């Protein structure tokens, strides 16, 4: 039996819309990362861009469990000595809810140029329920929120 390796003609990109309201951040990030990479398809090839486009809506309503809302911080450094800043998750979620989701999904992707390209082009995050991608007719994607599911 020969090993299957997808060619650009074998790849089809679909559109999915994910509602992030009351979904734990980690579960959302793993599901979105799998969709972006294309691991849910039988034609998955690691070196090809076989993933789907993902539109995440209601990013401002994502759930952080435990005390993460107050204790989790996001690190940023300017490059100058002593110029580092730690932003609490509560403040970042209030001001830029899209960045919280993007950082979580980036953490779930492999650290290579293809993953960075996929994150930049295939992930669309919106804080509210409206998005401008209705013309692509995305299919709803449900994420299991129960612990056993």
Backbone CA torsion sign across 115, 22, 41, 3: positive
Q: Please report which confidence band the pLDDT of residue 55 belongs to, taking 50, 70 and 90 as the band edges.
A: very high
Query: Do the domain assignments include residue 24?
Result: yes
Determine phi and psi for 80, rounding to 5 degrees.
-95, 150
pLDDT at 147: 58
Structural domain boundaries enclosing 95? 14-141
Q: Please report which confidence band the pLDDT of residue 5 belongs to, taking 50, 70 and 90 as the band edges.
A: confident
Query: Do the domain assignments include residue 147?
Result: no
pLDDT tens digits for range 82-122: 999 999 999 999 999 999 999 999 999 999 999 999 999 99
- If one counts the domains in the chain, the total is 1
pLDDT tens digits for range 16-49: 999 999 999 999 999 999 999 999 998 898 888 9
Assign residue 120 the CATH number of its domain: 3.90.1180.10
Query: Do the domain assignments include residue 136?
Result: yes
Kindly give the pairing relationship between strand 139-141 and strand 15-19. parallel
Contact of 103 with 74, CB cutoff 8 Å: yes
pLDDT tens digits for range 120-131: 999 999 999 999
């Amino acid at each position: 039996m020969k090993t299957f390796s997808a060619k650009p003609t074998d790849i089809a990109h679909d559109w999915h819309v994910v509602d992030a309201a009351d979904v734990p951040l980690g579960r959302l990030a793993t599901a979105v990362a799998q969709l972006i990479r294309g691991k849910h398809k039988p034609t998955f090839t690691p070196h090809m861009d076989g993933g789907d486009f993902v539109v995440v809506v209601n990013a401002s309503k994502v759930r952080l469990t435990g005390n993460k809302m107050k204790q989790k911080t996001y690190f940023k450094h300017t490059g100058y000595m002593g110029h580092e800043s730690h932003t609490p998750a509560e403040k970042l979620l209030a001001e830029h809810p899209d960045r919280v989701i993007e950082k979580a999904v980036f953490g779930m992707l492999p650290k290579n140029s293809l993953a960075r390209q996929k994150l930049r082009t295939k992930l669309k995050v919106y804080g509210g329920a409206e998005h401008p991608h209705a013309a692509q007719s995305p299919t709803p994607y449900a994420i299991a929120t129960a612990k056993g599911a």
